[in-house]
C-alpha cells in the first residue's frame, strides 16, 4: 500500500485518546482520515464472508455486535493521501500485527488505575456494572501495553499538553509527507 503509514491508536477508555485525536485533527486539518468500521452496514453473513475471505485487517465481536476494519477502507483513506487512524483495542492491535499493514503503533495510557477510574466516574455516562467492565478491560490493556515490541511508543497521559507533544513528535514525519505532497 502506498501513501502515508497508517496509525494504530490504542488504549483504555478514559485514557484520553479522543481528546488527543480531536486536537490533532484540528491542528492538522486535511492530514488525517478514519477508516470506517463495517459493523453498521452489513449483515452478519456478509461480515463472516468478508472475514473468511481475509478482507478485514481486524475484527471483533463486542456486546453481540460484529466490528471490523476492511483493507479497502484503509486504502480509501490512503488513496486520498491521508494518514489513516485506526482506533482499536488490544485485540485489534494483535490482529493487525499479523497483516502487512506496517502502521505506527501508539498506546495512550492513563497514569494509574485510580486516575482512570476518577476520569470515567466524572463522565457520568456509565452504570456501576459497565464502569467495572471498563476498568477490568483497562487493567488488561495496561498490562499488555507494557509487553516489549507491541507498541512503537506508549504515551502516559498524565499531562494533556505533554501527551499531545509526544504524540505529534511520533507522527511528525508522516504529517510532513502529507503536507509536502499537497504543496
pLDDT tens-digit series, residues 13-60: 899 999 999 999 999 999 999 876 655 567 888 888 988 998 888 887
Mean pLDDT score, 53-75? 82
Answer yes or no: is 67 within a domain: no
Answer yes or no: is 17 within a domain: yes
Give residue 134's domain range. Answer: 7-34+83-181
The pLDDT, as a whole number, for residue 2 is 62
Answer yes or no: is 77 within a domain: no
**What CATH number is associated with residue 14?**
3.40.50.300
Answer yes or no: is 45 within a domain: no
**Percent of the chain residues past pLDDT 90, beyond the cut:** 58
Give just the sign of the alpha carbon dihedral 141, 67, 93, 85. negative
Answer yes or no: is 124 within a domain: yes
Answer yes or no: is 130 within a domain: yes
The pLDDT, as a whole number, for residue 138 is 93
The pLDDT, as a whole number, for residue 40 is 54
Higher-pLDDT residue of 162 and 51 is 162
Question: Hey, is 85 helix, strand or coil?
Answer: strand
How far is the CA of 109 from the CAs of 9, 87, 178, in angstroms? 11, 14, 27
The tally of domains found in the chain comes to 1
The pLDDT, as a whole number, for residue 25 is 92
Angle between helix axes 17-27 and 160-181 (nearest 10 degrees) is 40
How far is the CA of 125 from the CAs of 16, 52, 85, in angstroms? 15, 36, 25
In the chain the first and final C-alpha atoms are separated, in Å, by: 22
What is the per-residue pLDDT across 97-117, written as a single tens digit (0 to 9) for each?
Answer: 988 889 999 999 999 999 999
Answer yes or no: is 1 within a domain: no
Answer yes or no: is 92 within a domain: yes
Contact 74, 84 (CB under 8 A): yes
Most confident of 1-5, 74-78, 91-95, 101-105: 101-105
Give just the sign of the alpha carbon dihedral 167, 157, 137, 133. negative
Amino acid at each position: 500500500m502506498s501513501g502515508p503509514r497508517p496509525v494504530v491508536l490504542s488504549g483504555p477508555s478514559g485514557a484520553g485518546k479522543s481528546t488527543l485525536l480531536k486536537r490533532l485533527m484540528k491542528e492538522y486539518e486535511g492530514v488525517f482520515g478514519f477508516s470506517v468500521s463495517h459493523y453498521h452496514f452489513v449483515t452478519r453473513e456478509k461480515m463472516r464472508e468478508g472475514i473468511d475471505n481475509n478482507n478485514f485487517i481486524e475484527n471483533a465481536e463486542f456486546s453481540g455486535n460484529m466490528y471490523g476494519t476492511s483493507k479497502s477502507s484503509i486504502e480509501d483513506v490512503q488513496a486520498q493521501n491521508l494518514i489513516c487512524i485506526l482506533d482499536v483495542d488490544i485485540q485489534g492491535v494483535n490482529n493487525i500485527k499479523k497483516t502487512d499493514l506496517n502502521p505506527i503503533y501508539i498506546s495512550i495510557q492513563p497514569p494509574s488505575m485510580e486516575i482512570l477510574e476518577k476520569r470515567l466516574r466524572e463522565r457520568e455516562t456509565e452504570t456501576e456494572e459497565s464502569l467495572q467492565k471498563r476498568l477490568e478491560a483497562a487493567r488488561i490493556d495496561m498490562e499488555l501495553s507494557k509487553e516489549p515490541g507491541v507498541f512503537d511508543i506508549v504515551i502516559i497521559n498524565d499531562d494533556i499538553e505533554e501527551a499531545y507533544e509526544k504524540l505529534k513528535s511520533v507522527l511528525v514525519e508522516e504529517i510532513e509527507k502529507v503536507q509536502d505532497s499537497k504543496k
